[in-house]
A and B are shown apart, each in its own frame.
Chain A
Amino acid sequence: ETGVTQSPTHLIKTRGQQVTLRCSSQSGHNTVSWYQQALGQGPQFIFQYYREEENGRGNFPPRFSGLQFPNYSSELNVNALELDDSALYLCASSPPDRKSTGELFFGEGSRLTVL
């Protein structure tokens, strides 16, 4: 059983640029959520995707957007990058409700540095 995989693992961007981060969910999982962990903080919920639609969102501006594809993989897009967007971005998947204990299955994250 393949776990959650994220790419790229590290990347460097400059202020004002755009970035796309990718996530492949664990086999059989249909829900994907994204979290941002800034230095010294706990992970913060960005949004969640289910059946290719956003069905929950944290306190992040519209320049943070996402997609979920028919195979349940997902992308996180951030436009007009700011220095404060530098963080570790974690993707997590979870199985359908009937099989879920509620726990999330995380990838190892993508570390974004904005200069």
Chain B
Amino acid sequence: ILNVEQSPQSLHVQEGDSTNFTCSFPSSNFYALHWYRWETAKSPEALFVMTLNGDEKKKGRISATLNTKEGYSYLYIKGSQPEDSATYLCASHSGGGADGLTFGKGTHLIIQP
């Protein structure tokens, strides 16, 4: 994998249901994996920054896992609420330092009441 890939591209979920989506990233020269939530007309906000293989992080109803050996991360949302509607971006940071983040195209999540 040369780029950061996210799937699905978009997702409609019923309020109250749980959902998850995937981020695939290059496993070579890995430094960190970032997840951001981006609501319309606002700025992207960091959810998690993960560095260790097997790491799991949680913030309220949202959690994420990381597998650096195979190059993937999952984001889970439990009991979706309308305010969870947003684009979720993942980004790989390779090599550390000033290399910048490589972003995927995002998963656009719409929660239907």
Chain A residues in contact with chain B, CB under 8 A?
3-4, 33, 35, 40-45, 47-48, 50, 55-56, 58, 90, 101-109
Give complex CA distance A109, B43 in Å.
Answer: 7
B103 contacts which chain A residues (CB < 8 A)?
A: 35, 42-44
Complex Cα–Cα for A22 and B99 (A): 22
A-B contact pairs, 28 of them (CB 8 A): A33-B100, A35-B100, A35-B101, A40-B105, A41-B105, A42-B91, A42-B103, A42-B104, A42-B105, A42-B106, A43-B44, A43-B101, A43-B103, A45-B99, A48-B98, A48-B100, A50-B98, A55-B97, A56-B97, A56-B99, A56-B100, A90-B43, A101-B49, A102-B51, A103-B46, A103-B49, A104-B44, A106-B44
Does B64 belong to the interface (CB within 8 Å)? no
Q: Are A4 and B43 in contact (CB under 8 A)?
A: yes
Q: List residues of B whose CB falls within 8 A of some A CB.
A: 4, 32, 34, 36, 41-46, 49, 51, 89, 91, 93, 97-106
Distance in angstroms between the alpha carbons of A90 and B43 in the assembled complex: 9
The answer to whether B97 touches A102, judged by C-beta atoms less than 8 angstroms apart, is: no
A44 contact set on B, CB distance < 8 A:
103
Tell me if B42 and A108 are in contact (CB < 8 A): yes
With A42-B105, A43-B89, A102-B34 known to touch, is A107 a contact of B43 (CB < 8 Å)? yes
A47 to B100 alpha-carbon distance, docked (Å): 7
Contacts of B101 in A (CB 8 A): 35, 43, 45, 104
- Asked if B46 and A104 make an inter-chain contact with CB atoms under 8 angstroms apart, the answer reads yes
Interface centre among B41, B42, B98, B100 (most CB of A within 10 A): B100
- A87 → chain B closest CB, angstroms: 13
CA distance in complex: A42, B38 (Å): 12
A32 CB to closest chain B CB (Å) equals 11
Bound-complex Cα distance A42 to B100 (A): 13
Which A residues are CB-close (under 8 A) to B100? 33, 35, 45, 47-48, 56, 58
B-side contacts of A33, CB under 8 Å? 100
* Cα-based distance from A56 to B27 in the complex (angstroms): 21
- Name the distance in Å between A3's Cβ and chain B's nearest Cβ: 7
Kindly report which residue of chain A lies nearest to residue B34, judged by CB atoms. A103
